[in-house]
Structure 1
Amino acid sequence: MSEPATPVVVSLPPVLDLQAAEPLRAELMALRGRPLTLDASQVTRLGGLCLQVLMSARKMWAEDGLNLTVEQQSSVFSEQLAAFGEPELQFEA
């Protein structure tokens, strides 16, 4: 049996708004099939559309049996994620 692949680390941009949604989606889809770690340490704004992109990616990675984690969450990222009000929206590192 082969060893698990080392996760690819993607640093999320500071502003995850409407304009960031499509580039984020494209970047994540290009990495599909590989374990992924998202670095959220620089996030200063998390908009609803980018959150949908992240949630969709989390679901696809789970369906593929791969890990998708969010590490080093900025306080703003964590607060804005929690403000959407759904416990299942929480990412576990």
Structure 2
Amino acid sequence: MTALLALPAVLDLRAAEPLKAQLLAVRGQETALDASAVERLGGLCLQVLLSALQTWRADGQALTFVNVSEAFASQWGAFGASASDLAAQGQLA
């Protein structure tokens, strides 16, 4: 069974700890992250998401991004994070 987590519109400093807690709660499960509402992605939340990608890979589980908003994809790339991480793990739109 795939866990589905909806990401908030603003992934800033205040969202980092709750995001980490949500991800830890579903660790060990195939997980889909719905990024359709994301309007702003901050650096700390980017680090949390990149860490989650590595953790899920190490655990042999799938972590996918679904319904990725244009803002999320654009800001992901603006930080220098690889678009292939989004594409390889899920859908870009």
- Structure 2 length normalisation: TM-score? 0.89
Are 1:11 and 1:38, in contact at CA under 8 Å, matched by a contact in 2?
A: yes
Match of 1:41 in 2: 36
TM superposition outliers: structure 1 runs of 4+ over 6 Å:
none
Question: Is 1:87 aligned to 2:82, yes or no?
Answer: yes
Q: Percent identity?
A: 50
Match of 2:23 in 1: 28
Instruction: Mark the CA change 1:45 to 1:89 in structure 2 (over 3 Å): closer, same or farther.
Output: farther
Structure 2 portions without partners, runs of 5+: none
Match of 2:5 in 1: 10
Question: Which of these two proteins has the greater Rg computed from alpha carbons?
Answer: 1
Are 2:13 and 2:42, in contact at CA under 8 Å, matched by a contact in 1?
A: yes
Structure 1 portions without partners, runs of 5+: 1-5
Deviations 1:32-75 (A, max 9, x none): 01000000000000000000000001100000000000010001
Higher percent of residues as helix: 2
